[in-house]
Amino acid sequence: MRSVSEVRSQVLDTIRSLPAEPVRFQDAVGRILAEPVMATHDVPSFANSAMDGFAVRASDVSGPGALLTILEDVAAGQVSTVAVGPGEATRIMTGAPMPEGADTVVRVEDTEEDDGKVRILTSTDLGTSVRPPGGDVTAGATVFQAGTRLSAAHVGVLATIGVVEPVVARRPRVAVMSTGDELVPPETGELGPGLIRDSNRPMLLALLLEAGAETIDLGRVPDDADSLRAALGQAAAEADVIVTSGGVSMGEYDVTKAVLRDEASVEFYPVAMKPGKPQGFGTIGGTPFFGLPGNPVSVLVSFEQFVRPALLAMQGGAALLRPRVTGIAGEDFESDPEKEEFIRVRFIDAAVPPTVAQTGGSGSHVLSGAADADAFAVFGVDVSDVRKGEAVVLELFRSVETRGLYDE
Ligand code: AMP
Ligand code: MG
């Protein structure tokens, strides 16, 4: 059996980078920078007050009790008209530029006003409550490297420095289909005998959106070779990546495998992972193809381990994998020593480190357990049991990726 990391390396060797495009900064969240972002000016661009208070000269307030003459008021957006000299102070609001001559701000709570004068109750060090120019971003600096995935805070910084059209990787277009004669649309009211609602496709569409992809929903395909061939042909023509679920294991009706078995560029193989052992991967007409298994938890875990890193890599992402932290087993765990296991767990004590317990049992059909989970507890090959109180590796599959390929 191939290991998870071997398969992931093979996948990443196969995929190609997507072209870059400018995007309005409002639409940039979740996208990956294709070019570094530089700052053309300091942020803040002028020294300003961090507090509502009085702008003073530090030499006047080295001890408590100074009585200073108030010159004027300066609010955010205004500019002072007179310099602050010895024995003088200007009333200043948060964000207002420092008046000439002043180098320190005393917050209003530490003052008392009396008839045009202000008494400074505390001694205050030089530079207190002053935000220096460039304290956030320095002119000429690379603010964000290419490969950065943009969060809401990144979008805010882009706005701050006036970069309204960052250049990002195009979104990968991903065609999704589910296979299986048993599948009916999720909208179906009454289920006929032996039928189930198709849950993999909606889940995959949601996972893809979160990974920054555009989706092409090719619907449900019956376990019929001609139908699947037609759908795959359309997918290969329209998409950058194809993802299917179901039909890749050892059964008589495993249509995905049957249709693609003779395709030289696609392989089906067992991976030393649980859930998600049977996998198909390769290219169809040059388009990367992921033949994920049918069981919903296997779909989630194999999407996380293979598809998502591939989509981020196609966009030039510097980080491809979710963060891992150490937690504590809140109960005894068993793991198949032949496979890397991804057991769905939740935090039963969210202290640091968190203590975890399994959700929903080990069945790869128990998707509700995955929905309840905060993390995967990852047990490597050769691990057969972990006792209550021992350390466990937790993969935070709901957090933004932080790890490169070699930080495993
Ligand atoms: P398969 O690999 O096609 O044999 O499917 C394995 C298991 O996953 C079977 O119990 C299927 O009914 C189930 N399954 C396959 N596709 C889906 C789907 N799209 N939604 C929910 N369950 C599925
Ligand atoms: Mg099937």
Q: Ligand 1 pocket, 182 CB below 6 A?
A: yes
In the reported structure, the alpha carbon of residue 205 is separated from the centroid of ligand 1 by a whole-number distance in angstroms of: 16
| pLDDT value, residue 399 | 96
* CA dist., res. 171 & res. 240, Å (int): 9
3-state secondary structure of 368: helix
Contact yes or no for 160/43 (Cβ under 8 A): yes
Q: Ligand 1 pocket, 291 CB below 6 A?
A: no
Instruction: Tell me the ligand closest to 199's alpha carbon.
Output: 1
* CA dist., res. 273 & res. 217, Å (int): 28
Nearest to 276 by CA among 340, 217, 319, 215: 340
Contact yes or no for 382/352 (Cβ under 8 A): no
| pLDDT value, residue 262 | 86
Q: Ligand 1 pocket, 354 CB below 6 A?
A: no
Query: Which single residue is written with the structure tokens 């599959």?
Result: 397
| pLDDT value, residue 251 | 85
3-state secondary structure of 342: strand
> Which of 177, 179, 181, 183 maximizes ligand 1 atoms within 8 Å of its Cβ, making it the mutation to test the pocket?
183
| pLDDT value, residue 408 | 58
3-state secondary structure of 98: coil
Buried b (16+ CB within 10 A) or exposed e, 87-104: ebbbbbbbebbbbebbbb
Nearest to 344 by CA among 373, 385, 387: 373
Q: Ligand 1 pocket, 180 CB below 6 A?
A: yes
- The DSSP result for 24-42, as a single string, is -GGG-TT-BBSS-EE-SS-
> Which of 245, 255, 298, 301 maximizes ligand 1 atoms within 8 Å of its Cβ, making it the mutation to test the pocket?
245
Instruction: Tell me the ligand closest to 200's alpha carbon.
Output: 1
Reading the chain (408 residues) residue by residue, the pLDDT tens digits are: 999 999 999 999 999 999 999 999 999 999 999 999 999 999 999 999 999 999 999 999 999 999 999 999 999 999 999 999 999 999 999 999 999 999 999 999 999 999 999 999 999 999 999 999 999 999 999 999 999 999 999 999 999 999 999 999 999 999 999 999 999 999 999 999 999 999 999 999 999 999 999 999 999 999 999 999 999 999 999 999 999 999 999 888 899 999 998 888 999 999 999 999 999 999 999 999 999 999 999 999 999 999 999 999 999 999 999 999 999 999 999 999 999 999 999 999 999 999 999 999 899 999 999 999 999 999 999 999 999 999 999 999 999 999 987 775
- The DSSP result for 287-332, as a single string, is EEEEEE-SSHHHHHHHIIIIIHHHHHHHTT-S--B--EEEEEESS-
In the reported structure, the alpha carbon of residue 372 is separated from the centroid of ligand 2 by a whole-number distance in angstroms of: 25
Nearest to 213 by CA among 178, 179, 241: 241
* Residue 256 to residues 228, 240, 318, Cα–Cα distance (Å): 7, 19, 33
> Which of 176, 200, 207 maximizes ligand 1 atoms within 8 Å of its Cβ, making it the mutation to test the pocket?
200
For 132-188, what is each residue's pLDDT tens digit?
A: 999 999 999 999 999 999 999 999 999 999 999 999 999 999 999 999 999 999 999
In the reported structure, the alpha carbon of residue 2 is separated from the centroid of ligand 2 by a whole-number distance in angstroms of: 23
Query: Which single residue is written with the structure tokens 């010159």?
Result: 71
- The DSSP result for 102-162, as a single string, is --EEEEGGGEEEETTEEEE-S---TTTTEE-TTSSB-TT-EEE-TTPBP-HHHHHHHHHTT
| pLDDT value, residue 228 | 97
3-state secondary structure of 219: strand
Instruction: Tell me the ligand closest to 183's alpha carbon.
Output: 1
Contact yes or no for 323/402 (Cβ under 8 A): yes
**Residue 276: exposure state from Cβ atoms within 10 A (0-12, 13-18, ≥19):** buried
Q: What percent of the chain has pLDDT over 90?
A: 96
CA 342, distance to chain mean position in Å, is 20
For 60-114, what is each residue's pLDDT tens digit?
A: 999 999 999 999 999 999 999 999 999 999 999 999 999 999 999 999 999 999 9
* CA dist., res. 104 & res. 336, Å (int): 64
The amino acid that residue 163 corresponds to is V
| pLDDT value, residue 252 | 84
Q: Ligand 1 pocket, 315 CB below 6 A?
A: no
Atom 10, ligand 1: residue with shortest CA distance = 295
